[in-house]
Amino acid sequence: MKFCNLFTLASVLTLFILIATVAAKKSGDVTSLQIGVKHKPASCDIQAHKGDRIKVHYRGKLTDGTVFDSSFERGDPIEFELGSGQVIKGWDQGLLGMCVGEKRKLKIPAKLGYGEQGSPPTIPGKIHFPIIGFKLLMEWFWWSL
């Protein structure tokens, strides 16, 4: 009898976890950083590392596709030191190892973006960032796209 109850409980818990997982995936929730490589150059001689100064063009989108920020609209890419905390953690992690001329799309969970609360009124907790190429700035020269 105890085995039957234990088996039933385990089955119900497994079913609950499965349903919760499917529901989260269908709702578009991002629970971990997702890095999609949209274009990678034929050769990748220079990659972005922690401490490098880089410039990126980006378009910040909500999960419904609404653009909330775009360096293209301003005509000015953002420049920052990778891994220094000058940008959201999703960027510091998602741009590591990126090649000059590469295009990536980052799906960033709230914990690596603006938190569960987001940045009201425009930015909710879960966001998408298509990163379009980047420039790697070295101490003595400027590498461009």
Strands annotated E in the chain: 34-39, 53-62, 67-70, 78-81, 103-108, 127-137
Residue 142 has pLDDT above 60, yes or no: no
> Which CATH number covers residue 67?
3.10.50.40
Question: What pTM, to 2 d.p., does this model score?
Answer: 0.69
Query: 15-39: per-residue pLDDT in tens?
Result: 344 444 444 444 356 689 999 888 8
Residue 42 is predicted with a pLDDT of: 92
> What's the pLDDT score for residue 130?
67
CB 44 within 8 A of CB 14: no
- For residues 68 and 110, state if they share a domain: yes
- Could you tell me which of 53, 57, 72, 134 has the C-alpha nearest to residue 99? 134
Confidence of residue 6 (pLDDT cuts 50, 70, 90): low
Same domain membership, residue 17 and residue 74: no
- Structural domain including 7 reads 1-29
